[in-house]
Structures are given as structure tokens and as C-alpha cells.
Amino acid sequence: MRFVDEYRDKDSAGALLDAIGRATSKSLKFMEVCGSHTVAIFKSGIRDMLPENISLVSGPGCPVCVTSVQDVDRAIAIAGLPGVTLATFGDMVRVPGSESSLQRAKAGGADVKVVYSPFDALTFAQSNPGSNVVFFAAGFETTAPTVAATLSRAVEAGTSNFYVYCVHKTVPDAMRALLDSPDLMIDGFLCPGHVSTIIGTAPYRFIPEVYSKPAVISGFEPLDILQSTLMMVEQIEEGRPEVAVQYLRAVSGEGNPKAVDVMYRFFQPSDSNWRGIGVIPGSGLELRDEYAAHDAMKAFDINTPEPREPRGCSCGDVLRGRITPPQCRLFAKACTPDNPVGACMVSYEGSCAAYFKYGRR
């Protein structure tokens, strides 16, 4: 596959590992924010091949994992409303809410439709004018512009039976919250690749400027991750923390201004509740007032009881990089991919699912 295979070359991987080993003897801990990086790191075996003094810890960059229990409960409630179809990305359907999941609600008769794209939800609404279609809009800055563009098409076409239940979150704000956490000693961040395709480098500048740590935007192939690790190590050794782009083929410094424009035309920043972490101010998106006609929270009467977190679940500590999944007492015992207790095990890109699948021998 073009633009993929070249970044998997074994000899080059060996050379990069050697270079990392020679570059520093310091003990360094880097956080890979993005769930896709966690999986990529496992699949390639990089975690085990890095020199002893360098470690990688997973962060909260899995949008499925950080959607709050209350938001899942509300999505289930929406799906149960008469005349409403809840359209959702497939990876959200097994996430446990307080009592149930979208998948179980669907089995019980709720109208839940899995879609690949928010656009598919819109075309379904247009073909089914008698149904109110609500799109469960989870995801970070990679996804929010696709939902905004879909809303733009809905407005253009005058599709009044299309709504969005917005639970989008923005990644740099969560990174800031992690850096402010007193017990977390992270020496640098491997920044998400495709979030950065949208937002560019500017939103990460606070990391070197305020916290004096490196931030490298990385691709997902083994050579990308290794080169990014080397770049962070070199920045530390040379005392020059900065935001750097390793993933040059997919990220430009300015990001995708068209996508950012449409995202902020429809959404504005809001506080957001990250599952396992709590409310991070300004870390979410909400629909602007002028689009209230498409806002599920305003259009429908959604009442859910006080949310209940699953007992014994340590997802919060895993998402913050405080513990590794095997250190959770439920891991691989009460909590498995077939029977997930917390969101980190449900999502294919959740740390716990990744550790379960790849990290055990």
C-alpha cells in the first residue's frame, strides 16, 4: 500500500531504535494521547523494543472511552423515544451506560442504526421524512468537522428531521488538564495524527511554552512512532522543547482551515465531562444557538436519572496514565472484551482492549 508500506521497513526500525538508545540515558516517560497510537504501538511491538529507560504510557485519546456514562444514558433515552431513530458510529454501541448499552437497548426494541458516516444518517433522514433522526456525535476534532459539514448540508437542503446529540470533545484541553495534574510525570507527548490534520500545530504550543515539554505530532506506522520518539528525546537532550510535525505527509502547520471554519460555524466550545476524568472546562463542543432546531437536547425531552459509574472500574486512572490496564483489579477477570465493565475495554482502541489483545503472553 502506497504511503504505508514504506513506513514499516524493519531495518529502518532497528536503526531508529539504536539512535534512540544512543541519544539519551535519562529515564523518560512519554504519553501517546491517541487510541490509534496505542494500538499501533502494540501491533508493531514497539513497547517491548524500546530501550529500558524509555517508556510509553497511554492517554485519554479514545473518544469512545471518554464519552461519559450520562451521555451514553441520554443516547439510550433518545433511541427509546417514539418516532426517533438514533444513528451512531458502530464503536459506541457496546459502551456501558448506568444500566444498559445502545446494543442492549436495540435488542430491547429501541431504534438504533449504525452508520459509517454522519452523512449516511442525513441521507437516511432525507429518505425517511416521517422519522426523526438523531446522530450521536461523539469524537474529537477529526470527527466534529464531518458532523458540521453534514449539518451544513442539512441546512442547505432544509432537512428538518435531522438532529445532532453533540458530545464532541477537544484534545489539547485534556492534555492541558493532564499536565496540570500533580501526580502525572510525563516528559513529552506523542500528539494525535489526524486530530492535528484538522487543527494544525498552534493548539499544542502551550505544551513547550508553558510546560517546557516536547510535543511531536506522529503518524501511525512503526517508523513514524519511532521517529517521533527520537525527535522528543533529541528535543529534551538539546533543551529545546517545541511542537514538531513528524507526520509531514498528513499534517501541515496550519491544519485544515476549511474544516476548522465549518466546525466553529456550527459548534462553540463548552465544558465537557470526560468519563473517568470528570469535567474539563472548555474541552467540549456544543451546537450554536442559531442551530437549535437541529439540537437533540433542545428538541426532545430527555430525562435520565443520576448516572452510575461501574463499581471497581479504574478507567479514569488508565485514561490519565496513572496505571496500566493490568493494574486494574478487574482487568482480564470481570472485565474482558466480551464482557466489558468500562469503556477502555469496549473500544478497539481503548488501552485495556489493546493490552488484552496484544499485551499478554
Partner 1 sequence: MCVGIPGKVIEVEGRTATVEVGGATRLIALDLLEGVAVGDYVIAHAGFALHKVDEEEAQKTLDIIKEITDLAGGACAL
Grid cell digits, residue 242: 517545541
What Rg, from alpha-carbon coordinates, does the chain have? 21
Chosen residue from 30, 32, 36, 325 binding partner 1 by CB under 8 A: 36
From the list 71, 66, 82, 61, the residue with the least C-alpha distance to 136 is 71
Q: Which residue's CB is nearer to partner 1, number 187 or number 349?
A: 349
Determine, following the binding rule CB under 8 A, whether residue 106 of this chain makes contact with partner 1. Answer: no
Determine, following the binding rule CB under 8 A, whether residue 351 of this chain makes contact with partner 1. Answer: no
Q: Give the whole-angstrom CA distance, residue 249 versus residue 61.
A: 21
Q: How many C-beta atoms lie closer than 10 Å to residue 238's C-beta?
A: 9
Chosen residue from 24, 114, 120, 337 binding partner 1 by CB under 8 A: 120
CB of 64 to partner 1, least distance (A): 7
149-178: contacts with partner 1 (CB under 8 A): 149, 152-153
**How many binding residues for partner 1 (CB under 8 A)?**
65
Determine, following the binding rule CB under 8 A, whether residue 227 of this chain makes contact with partner 1. Answer: yes
Chosen residue from 67, 161, 256, 273 binding partner 1 by CB under 8 A: 256
CB of 152 to partner 1, least distance (A): 7
- Listed in sequence order, the residues at least 6 apart from 308 whose beta carbon sits closer than 8 Å to its beta carbon are 69, 98, 99
End-to-end CA distance of the chain: 30
Q: Which residue's CB is nearer to partner 1, number 195 or number 243?
A: 195
CB of 34 to partner 1, least distance (A): 6
Grid cell digits, residue 175: 492534555
Q: Which residue's CB is nearer to partner 1, number 194 or number 294?
A: 194
Determine, following the binding rule CB under 8 A, whether residue 35 of this chain makes contact with partner 1. Answer: yes
Q: Which stretch binds partner 1 (CB under 8 A): 140-148, 268-276, 292-300, 322-330?
A: 140-148
Query: Binding mask 70-89 vs partner 1 (x if CB under 8 A, - otherwise)?
Result: -------------------x
- Listed in sequence order, the residues at least 6 apart from 145 whose beta carbon sits closer than 8 Å to its beta carbon are 198, 256, 259, 260, 262, 263
Q: From start to end of the chain, where are the E strands?
A: 28-34, 54-61, 84-89, 112-115, 132-137, 162-166, 188-191, 215-217, 243-245, 267-274, 278-287
Q: Give the whole-angstrom CA distance, residue 48 versus residue 59.
A: 18
From the list 226, 174, 158, the residue with the least C-alpha distance to 34 is 174
CB of 232 to partner 1, least distance (A): 15
Let me know: does 72 contact 255? Beta carbons within 8 Å. Answer: no
Q: Give the whole-angstrom CA distance, residue 171 versus residue 142.
A: 10
Residue 95 has φ and ψ, to the nearest 5°, of: -65, 125
Determine, following the binding rule CB under 8 A, whether residue 103 of this chain makes contact with partner 1. Answer: no
Determine, following the binding rule CB under 8 A, whether residue 360 of this chain makes contact with partner 1. Answer: no
Chosen residue from 85, 142, 272, 273 binding partner 1 by CB under 8 A: 142
Query: Binding mask 287-326 vs partner 1 (x if CB under 8 A, - otherwise)?
Result: ----------------------------------------
Determine, following the binding rule CB under 8 A, whether residue 2 of this chain makes contact with partner 1. Answer: yes
Chosen residue from 52, 116, 238, 303 binding partner 1 by CB under 8 A: 116
Q: Which helix (H) or strand (E) holds 296?
A: helix 296-299
Q: Which residues bind partner 1 (CB under 8 A)?
A: 1-4, 6-7, 9-19, 34-36, 39-40, 62-64, 89, 91, 116-120, 139-140, 142-143, 145-146, 149, 152-153, 192-195, 197-198, 219-220, 223-224, 227, 230, 246, 248-252, 256, 258-259, 262, 347, 349
